[in-house]
Amino acid sequence: MVKHSRGNRTRSRKLLKKSPRERGAIPSLSRLMYEFKVGDKVIVKINSAIHNGMPHRRYQGKVGSVISKRGKAYEVKVNLGNKEKLIIVRPEHLVLFSNKSE
């Protein structure tokens, strides 16, 4: 019997699935070109078509704040339960958080 694979993207079939209209090329180059500033609130929205700088699936949909820039990627502090986690994410997987109530 073959052992079950427990890779980084296991059990993520529905989580990282794109709708038919989203498939293909990168959604917009403006998402790549945007420069996040230190202190910006961002949402981790994984683009499954781009594997470089992809965070773990447990961070999908989480809101964090940009701490610093590291090469092409950003260091983002995310609260996960009672802990603060520091993840390194490329801008393809980040969206600026805008709070509508303010």
Assign residue 86 the CATH number of its domain: 2.30.30.70
DSSP state of 39: T
User: Among all chains, which residue has been given the structure tokens 């490329």?
Assistant: 90
Q: pLDDT tier at 27 (50, 70, 90 boundaries)?
A: low
Indicate the SS3 state at residue 7: coil
What is the Cα Rg of the chain in Å? 15
**Higher pLDDT among residues 91 and 33, named by residue:** 91
The number of distinct structural domains making up the chain is 1
pLDDT at 32: 78
Residue range of the domain that includes 86: 29-96
Q: For residue 40, is it within any domain?
A: yes
Average pLDDT over residues 32-46: 92
pLDDT at 28: 66
Instruction: Reply yes or no on whether the pLDDT at 20 is more than 80.
Output: yes
CB contact at 8 A, 86 and 67: yes
**How big is the chain, counted in residues?**
102
